[in-house]
Amino acid sequence: MWSRLVAVVAVLGLQAEAAAKNPVSNAGMCKLAKTLDGKVLLATATCCVGYARPMNYLCPANTGDETYAKTTKQYLMDCDGEIPDGVIIAKGPGDVSKALAYAKAANVAFRVKSGGHSQACLSTVKDGVVLSLESMKKVEYINHDDGSVFVTIEAGVTLTELRADYTANSDVYFPHGLDPWIGAGGHFTGGGVGHLVRKFGFGTDFVVGMDVVLPSGEFVQVFEPEYEERLTGRLSVYNERDRQLLWGLKGSGHANFGVVTKFWMRTIPRPAYVVLGKYSYNIADKTSVEEYWNSMCGYYSKAPEDETAGERNLLVWPMVSNNREGPGFLMRFIIYYIPDNNSTAQGALNEATPVVNAFLTHVKGLTYHSGGIEAVAESGQFPNLVDPSASRYAPTCVSRIVPSREDVCNRDGWIGKFADFIYDEITAFPSRGTTLFTYFDKWGGAASLNDADFERTSVSTRNAYGTIQFCRIPLNVATRDTNAMINGEGGTKDFNDSVLADVGNGWYLNFLDTLATEPEQIYTEPAVYQRLQKVKNVYDPTNVLDRPLGVPLPGSEFLADSTLALVGASAPTVTDYCALSGALEGAVLMPAMGCCGTSAVPPGFPCAADPANGNLSYAESHNRVLVDCDDLKPNAVIIARSALDVTKSLKFIKERDIDYRIRSGAHSQSCASTCSNCVVISLEKMKGIDYVTSDTGATFMGVEPGVVLKELIADYQDHSDVYFPHGLDAPVGLGGHLGGGAVGYLTRKFGFGADFIVGVELVLGNGKFVQVYDQDYEEQLLGYRRAHNDEDQDLLWAVKGNAHANVGVVTRYWMRTIPRPSYMVKGFYLFGAQSAAHLQSFWGSVCKFYSVDDESPKAKNLIMWPFVRSGNQLMLQVYYLPDRNDTASGALAEAAEVLNEFLVGVTAPLITQSIQAVPDKMQFDNILNDQGGRTTYSCTSRLVRKREDVCNNWAFLDSFADRMWYEMENPVEDQTFFAYFDPWGGAATTNDPDFVKSSFMGRHAWGTFQYCRTPVGDVTRETLWATVDKFDSLIASQISDSWYVNFQDRTTTNRSQVLFVPEVNERLQTIKAKYDATGVFSSPLTVTLPERGW
């Protein structure tokens, strides 16, 4: 998979510079607006005439709502020239997906913003489009049973709003910054540095999950494995890629790989009290500035791992700025201390005081001006975050990551350069028309220790000593000159060139400025940078999210290096299988014995002889039914006993990118439920059957996929007087049977088994466990109605006829039922064929009987299976479900009327017959007495799309009769044959003629035709197949090139032969894209993902 992605990118040259962008089209934006829950704001007022929504809904003059002027007004005055042509206001992930599709199709310059606080102006773009998440502002709390509290925050929540919300609604929080206007989207994908960084780490360290819209438009949820089940109640089937995506977004997100719409955060208790303060000192000369800086260096001299808990609790911000209380400038140390003993103000102060005093011992040679510390209630510590007084940011700033202490403390001459510049600018004040401030943000502590090896996050500057920033502030905003503040004497570029150039050439992602020019200056760890490029290549290979300083696509030379592959598709080891087995309710079966002798689970538990699973062995389980599939031997069979087992198994498989199949009864004639050098997930031990009686008296059955037809029949005969349509082959599992339509002896009277599905429980491709019910039956089953949307009904529609692991793995079906009759009529007629003419008359009688579209009710009660078989035998197998079924004689009399209509046209001599009315409980004795065994015959089949294909088609009739007569007269040694027709029609067609309630494509067919060869001696499978293939090429191919999904065979070669109704297939593909967007379920002949397009 990865090699294919690499090849596509390399061939297309997608790592090259992006093509020139197109101008923004108002018409295109208005077309987009009609599809959104949010809105589009444009620079021109005549944009949407003729569109369904009111013009002012989209355009500038929109009083009381977001207007173009308001929304494009930049928080940072530095960015005033970067005005987009349009803004897309997203209200949810669906809007984000549509906006990305638009940007890709229209090829317009595109940016994403949550708060608009990027100092490098990366959240806006001139002559382009901005996707604004500012209206996505939900904050929600999840209280887990174990006492943990989690918080979900949407990307447009600002730090002001976040702080106000958790202060009002909870006693927990997590690390974040202090600037009130910053949006959560950029803040937490960029690291989330703030006042708690030394004690607890970055805000990103507390992200345990994200909702993300990928550049492809797909919506995904990714979680840290150890938190996912606690948050969602299940384990998702996400592979190594998904974990790499979460890793990339946690520290290097910023719309590099997708747009994060929601963060899932773990929390910590908020202290009752914290200690705040500041110590200010006078600036006498350059030496005092040097001493001031040396004080910080003296205190922060330890490596993070050597710091005490108290030292990590203390954060000191050195800052030089105007004296707000009087003239001149001051050097300040801003103090923030988070006490462990915080239940009282005095306790907090007592703990903080010695630690702060230890810092103050390093402050030497400075003249004290003012200051001290105090304990304050945590809830009231940041009044500026509750009611920010300013709406725009006037300073122009430059910053730099300080890689190590030596870069700003022990390097010869650097402190002198810093002191010279600061003192000279203070002396020049106010001649520049600006003032200044500079500060240092010390990291270390938990910031470095939480993830020192970058295993969980991609904050590549994590191990830095901290960040230094220098800003110019206009004295008069009205005459603010951005160019002078950057390029003028004493400006930010001057500070950069004369002071910061010696520090290094790296930036913290959330403190970018206009002087950063290359991505490598942000993603400063080479290994992190290379890994980020791999993530980019997987999730945004066409560079939809291309922006300045974003993670670039790797070059072709980089991609050609196989050692840099994001995921190596490694085969699971025995230890891997043993670990999985220990995590399951079921087990893992493998060919070798003794595999787990050194693992925590008992020796032999997941191996060939497995007492815990009824002594089911690998030999028995790898291929239980069809001899045709014996040459396909999986590396392991995972026996699932629950939906959670299914989820864990899929997760295991997709993490390792290995091939797999899913099976319930292993009855697929095309061997689609097994494979070689792969893993099979077997549902054969999921055998629950439940009965639910509603208040209306209706009875429903809940059946798990491993129940076989023999077990189903035995159970409902013992426990109820109801049933639903199903087949008659004893070993067929309900998982595939019902999911593929479920044709059987009740088809013509009541319809397919799939028509009786009213609910399903299933595991989706992302691992989510869902329950979906038909809205007409949900309240009867559950006792109440749930708020589920149309997508749920789409999913149910897809499962009813095309379940076969297309959109998920069904772990239970809920079935409506009908009363079972007291008596039914069953039996057979056996005729002798003495010529090809007898074959034609026999088949002609079938054609004549099943010739009327508007069949009588009694005709629908009858199903006859005509068989042609070795020994010159023509057999008619009969099932009749009488309306009058309270007595045997009444049932038999009613059936005779209908059967006689058929028998009139048969010219072959009758050899014997056996037609009788039997009590319902006796009708399936042959199935219930089936001792199992294995199916040895090989078959080919075709769907008979319409009657004319096999009745009025004389070429077929002649070929069929001649061939059957030839095979009767020329028997093949060690083989017998049979051919039969399974007529449909009746309720099979009329239940859902327009595919409104189900996706079963064979519904309008006349029936199915099948031809099989059975070995009776020592004959090879190849010889048997050769005979079957000959018949297929001579006869079956004349019928059609379509297959009933449950009767596929070895000659079925492409999806269109099974998925042959275009409008149904298109809808299935759309549903596939919603529920299995990454193609977790991608077995042969299953529904494919659609081509993406605008």
What average pLDDT does the segment 179-195 reach? 91
pLDDT band at 689 (very low <50, low <70, confident <90, very high): very high
8 A C-beta contact, residue 111 and residue 84: yes
How would you class 1011 by CB atoms within 10 Å of its CB: exposed for 0-12, middle for 13-18, buried for 19 or more? Answer: buried
Closest CA to 935 of 634, 669, 741: 669
Q: Tell me the CA distances in angstroms from 1036 to 330, 670, 850, 959, 1047, one per residue in order.
A: 94, 16, 20, 10, 13
What order do you get walking across the sheet with 862-869 strand by strand? 910-919, 823-832, 873-880, 862-869, 975-983, 1007-1015, 938-944
- Is residue 327 packed enough to be buried (19+ CB in 10 Å), middle (13-18) or exposed (0-12)? exposed
Strands 314-322 and 368-377, bridge-based pairing: unpaired
CA distances from 969 to 185, 830, 963, 975 (A): 78, 18, 10, 13
> What's the CA gap between 18 and 494, in Å, rounded?
32
Mean pLDDT in residue range 138-160? 93
Examine the pLDDT at 388 and tell me if it is beyond 60: no
pLDDT in tens, 809-828: 999 999 999 999 889 899 99
The tokens describing 440, both together, are 């240092």
Q: Report the pLDDT averaged over residues 466-489.
A: 92
Lowest mean pLDDT across 60-74, 246-260, 526-540, 651-665: 60-74
- In the prediction, which pLDDT does 537 show? 86
- Residue 547's pLDDT is 83
Q: Answer with the residue of higher pLDDT: 220 or 154.
A: 154
Q: Are 184 and 510 in contact (CB under 8 A)?
A: no
Tell me 1022's DSSP state.
H
How far is Cα 768 from Cα 168, in angstroms, rounded to an integer?
32
Other Cβ atoms less than 10 A from the Cβ of 57: the count is 15
Residue 647 clears pLDDT 90, i.e. is over it: no
* More confident site: 293 or 570: 293
Distance in angstroms (rounded) separating the CA atoms of residues 143 and 231 = 9
Does residue 446 or residue 1071 have the better pLDDT?
446
pLDDT value of position 688: 92
Which of 849, 881, 782 has its CA nearest to residue 1006?
Answer: 849
* Mean pLDDT value of segment 1065-1080: 81
Please give the Cα distance from 593 to 614 (Å, whole number): 17
Measured CA to CA, the distance from residue 4 to residue 460 in angstroms comes to 29
Instruction: Say if residues 326 and 361 touch (Cβ distance below 8 Å).
Output: no
pLDDT at 498: 92
Per-residue pLDDT of 548-596, as tens digits, reads 888 888 864 443 333 333 333 467 887 788 778 878 888 888 776 444 4
What per-residue confidence (pLDDT) applies to 424?
94
Residue 559 pLDDT:
39
pLDDT at 957 over 90: no
Calpha distance 318→297 (Å, rounded): 10
Max mean pLDDT among 617-621, 642-646, 1017-1021 falls in: 642-646
d(CA 400, CA 467): 6
pTM as predicted: 0.65
CA 690 to chain centre: 31
Q: How far apart are CA 664 and CA 769, in angstroms?
A: 18
Q: Per residue in 873-925, pLDDT tens? A: 999 998 989 888 889 899 899 888 888 877 777 888 999 999 998 887 777 77
Q: For the chain, give the mean pLDDT.
A: 83
Query: Residue 1040 has what pLDDT?
Result: 83
Q: Where is average pLDDT lowest: 99-108, 688-697, 800-809, 832-841?
A: 800-809
Q: CA–CA separation, 896 vs 886, rounded Å?
A: 16
Sequence-separated contacts (24+) of 516-520 with Cβ below 8 Å = 516/120, 516/549, 517/549, 518/549, 519/549, 519/550, 519/551, 519/552
Strand partners, 689: 703
The predicted structure's pLDDT at residue 56: 36
Q: What is the mean pLDDT of residues 357-378?
A: 94
Query: What is the H or E stretch that residue 741 is in?
Result: none
Kindly report, residue by residue over 714-755, the tens digit of the pLDDT. Answer: 999 888 999 999 988 888 899 989 988 889 888 889 999 999
Please say if the pLDDT value at position 387 is more than 60: no
User: Looking at residue 315, what is its pLDDT?
Assistant: 94
User: Where are the strands (E) in 523-658, listed by range?
Assistant: 587-589, 609-610, 616-617, 636-639
125-134, 547-556, 980-989: least confidently modelled range: 547-556
- pLDDT value, residue 543: 87
Encoded tokens for 1074: 């919603």
Contact 77, 480 (CB under 8 A): yes
